[in-house]
Amino acid sequence: MSVTQVPRGLAGVVVADTEIGDVRGREGFYHYRQYSAVDLAHHRRFEDVWHLLVDGELPDAARAETFAAETAALRRLPAEVLAALPALAGAGGRSGPLAGMRTALSLLGAAKGFRPVYDLSAAERRQDALAAAAAVPTLLTALYRLGKGLAPVEPREDLSYAANYLYMRTGTEPDARRTRAVEQYLISTIDHGFNASTFTARVIASTGADVAACLTGAVGALSGPLHGGAPSRALDTLDAIGTPDRIDAWIRERVLAGDRIMGFGHAVYRTEDPRSRMLREVAQDFGGPRVAFAVEVERQVEAILAELKPGRELHTNVEFYAGVVMELCGLPREMFTPTFAAARVVGWSANILEQAADSKIIRPAARYVGPAAPVAVPPARILGRT
């Protein structure tokens, strides 16, 4: 097969079939299996959606409780991993918990004896995927607390995924309102098509590697600021603008300079990002000056972008209001991207399981654009010889 055209970033190139979900960018709609992801965020628990992605269906009440208990029992870390976390937290420095988690996931896989998915049954792969995903919030919060000189907080099996995550960060049981807001954010970001981190996880899974290796690669992809690192940068923009009277001048200066406005625009959506719309509603339920300012910034930025970049649909993406919501719920900015990872690990796991069922390795071609070949290799003087 001859390669005649390679879209930048492989945009629009179909590389696999999936039953996990889809993103319909021109419609401003995305779904997990046959259900609207936004509807799921409005009406279901995080564990229910986890069950949907991994086991293929929404659970009934009895199965939901069984699955929640099954995953909650997997939250504790092996002793070998716990012993290594202080060093990882100390080495992470300004890189934060996500950097430490890359290494911790590898250690977790070794400590739990994860084997290549190629050698496992479907049930064994599922067990490894659940064990790894359930441990991620424990890893992230422990690394965060250790980095602050605080002891990790043991997970609780009687709390939901979202409530336990917030509890392990602070040591205090969170209130129901903030727990539900974080849960809605987590559900809305579990999966989102073949984004960079999900594709990375699937490429590694196609080699038959173990679940921890697949997830470690996905975390590496997520750490890039063009992927998962924008929620805090969007809040930085709000801070830099400062007051409503500065919005117009500040934004115009950046747009005319060719700078990217963090929290605006998306690689797939050509209309409003449905995740942003939902999280705006979540933020507005809290209310307050910070939310009102964010809404006004959104309004003016969209008007300025429409004026200066006519013909382009540029709206807020998930990162813009994600930062606002997480701030309202007491999460520090260095935990924004880790919180995203605590959600996306479930989507990565589902994709790993789906890819592992296909024994074909992902091995695309590249189009060579270097100097013409073959060219004779010129002789070189070898040391010690004349």
Q: Is 266 one of the catalytic residues?
A: yes
The CATH homologous superfamily of the domain defined by 30-225+333-356? Citrate Synthase, domain 1 (1.10.580.10)
Decide if 202 contacts 351 (C-beta within 8 A). Answer: yes
Q: How far is CA 226 from CA 175, 180, 222, 223, 252, in A?
A: 33, 28, 8, 9, 22
- Range of weakest confidence among 52-56, 291-295, 305-309: 305-309
Residue 245 DSSP code: G
Q: Give me the mean pLDDT over the 224-237 stretch.
A: 78
Q: Exactly one of 266, 315, 327, 354 is catalytic; which is it? A: 266
| Confidence band, pLDDT 50/70/90 cuts, at residue 176 | very high
Q: Which of 47, 298, 319, 327 is catalytic?
A: 319
Can 43 be counted among the known catalytic residues?
Answer: no
Calculate the alpha carbon distances from 380 to 372, 373, 386 in Å: 21, 19, 11
Nearest to 353 by CA among 187, 191, 219: 191
Highest mean pLDDT out of 98-102, 154-158, 300-304: 154-158
Distance of CA 37 to the CA centre of its chain: 15
Task: Please write the tens of the pLDDT for every residue from 107-150.
Answer: 999 999 999 999 999 999 999 999 999 999 999 999 999 999 99
- Average pLDDT for residues 338-356, to the nearest whole number? 97
Distance in angstroms (rounded) separating the CA atoms of residues 292 and 283: 9
AA identity, residue 206: S
CB atoms under 10 Å from CB of 142, counted, come to: 29
DSSP code, position 112? T
Stated as kind and residue range, the H or E segment containing 206 is helix 196-206
pLDDT of residue 54: 98
Residues 292, 321 contacting (CB under 8 angstroms):
no
List the CATH code of the domain at 230-328.
1.10.230.10
Measure CA of the first residue to CA of the last residue in the chain; give whole Å: 47
pTM: 0.91
Domain boundaries, the chain: 30-225+333-356, 230-328
Cβ neighbours for 202, distance < 8 A, ≥ 6 positions apart: 16, 194, 214, 351, 352, 354, 355, 362
Average pLDDT over residues 290-307: 92
- DSSP-based three-state secondary structure for 316: strand
Confidence of residue 1 (pLDDT cuts 50, 70, 90): very low
What was the pLDDT predicted at 370?
A: 93
